[in-house]
Amino acid sequence: MGITVEYVAYQDDTDADVRLYEELCAGLQMPVPDLGRAAADRPAWTVVARRPDGRLLGWAEIHPPAAGGDAADVQWLLVSRERERLTTGVHARRAPTAEERETAGRLLRGAARRAAADGIPALEWTGTDGYGVAADLGAGAKEEPGGRWTTPVPLADWQRPAGLPRVTVRQVTVPAAAGLLAEHARLYAEVTGRPYTPRDAAEVLRDLPPLPHLTLDLLTPAGRTAAQVTAVIAGTDALVDVVFRGAAADGPAVAGLIAELAARLRRDHPRATLLEVQEHGDPVTAEALAAAGLRPAERWYRYRLEL
């Protein structure tokens, strides 16, 4: 297809990601997302893929090995998929096109060449290999850091499993009160390990896609926020991207929170027939999802390519 690849070093162009996103968002009726991030989170290199006419197809960011590690980490994005996500509010579930498959392959091959040129012995990334790139490159699946869980039956037929504890939850509205935002900022900082201000916490909910949504806080007996889930209702699917779980929320409590979410979706959003939750490598959350009656629908893998 004539896809070309170019390499951009962060030290030579610190605003490359901003310009790429501006190019990606051209023609969309929305502002460019805020890409502010710490210098430590910036990539060493960015691999950019384009059509012969210059149209942007995607890019991959290469991060150097973490302390004590030997593999560079690559995170990649396809413009066609990201534009769909930005306009619809959800990730596309359609099969990849031939161009998307080739673009993904070019990006990862380019990342591998760049990492090898820097003397790095391996390249790693997380995904499902829906594009077939890991198989084509001969990468191995190193571990299983998470996946998608779904209700196995329509929500109208879902039954709360026996034995789940009753939990106290709070439904969050937008905009949230200042005191509640401070509590959310505390939870997000605990879960992510990064500082959050009340303003940052407000943006987490304000930046949700323009679709119906339901946010529930799990409360401790003292009224503190121990966990939080937000379900975005896209058509007949209720999608939870992440379970924010603090140390005060054990598996049974999170299972109770998920069960309460399912019950409220069934009551307040009857068009939603499926609940899907993404679990990001937290065994406590995985056990809670299983206890709440959800089942794994897709596993993610950590792929490793020896260079």
Q: What is the pLDDT of residue 33?
A: 67
Listed as own residue / partner, the contacts of 199-207 with beta carbons closer than 8 Å and 24 or more positions apart are 201/176, 202/175, 202/176, 205/172, 205/174, 205/176, 205/230, 206/174, 206/175
Same domain, 119 and 169: no
Report the mean per-residue pLDDT for the chain.
91
Same domain, 83 and 118: yes
Q: What is the pLDDT of residues 100-152, one digit of tens each?
A: 999 999 999 999 999 999 999 999 999 888 888 999 999 998 777 789 999 99
pTM of the predicted structure, to 2 decimals: 0.82
Q: Which residue has the tokens 């990334």?
A: 125
Angle, vertex CA 76, rays to CA 70 and CA 79, nearest 5: 170
Quick check: 253 and 224 in contact, CB under 8 A? no
Order of strands, edge to edge, in the sheet holding 45-50?
4-9, 45-50, 56-63, 71-78, 122-127, 295-306, 140-150, 274-279, 237-245, 225-234, 213-219, 168-172
Q: Which residue has the tokens 């579930």?
A: 93
Q: What is the pLDDT of residue 285?
A: 97
Lowest mean pLDDT segment, chosen from 9-18, 117-126, 290-299: 9-18
Same domain, 10 and 132: yes
Q: Band of the pLDDT at 1, cuts 50, 70, 90?
A: low
Reduce the DSSP state of residue 259 to 3 states and report it: helix
143 part of a folded domain:
no
- 278 Ramachandran zone, left/alpha/beta (phi>0; psi -120 to 50): beta
User: 103: burial class by Cβ within 10 Å (0-12, 13-18, 19+)?
Assistant: buried
Helices and strands, counts by H and E, the chain: 8, 12
Domain edge (last residue) among 105, 138, 171 = 138
CATH of the domain at 59: 3.40.630
Reduce the DSSP state of residue 80 to 3 states and report it: helix
306 part of a folded domain:
no
Range of the domain at 179: 149-300
225 part of a folded domain:
yes
307 part of a folded domain:
no
Listed as own residue / partner, the contacts of 196-202 with beta carbons closer than 8 Å and 24 or more positions apart are 201/176, 202/175, 202/176
**The two structure tokens encoding residue 305:** 């390519």
What does the DSSP assignment read for 116-160? HHTT--EEEEEE--TTSHHHHHT-EEEEEEEEEEE-SS-GGG--P
Domain edge (last residue) among 96, 119, 138 = 138
9 part of a folded domain:
yes
10 Å Cβ neighbour count for 180? Answer: 18
241 part of a folded domain:
yes
**CA pseudo-torsion sign 33, 204, 48, 78:** negative
Q: How far apart are CA 79 and CA 59, in angstroms?
A: 8
Q: What is the pLDDT of residues 180-219, one digit of tens each?
A: 999 999 999 999 999 999 999 998 888 787 889 999 999 9
212 part of a folded domain:
yes
Same domain, 176 and 295: yes
Of 237, 236, 144, 216, nearest in space to 173 by CA: 216
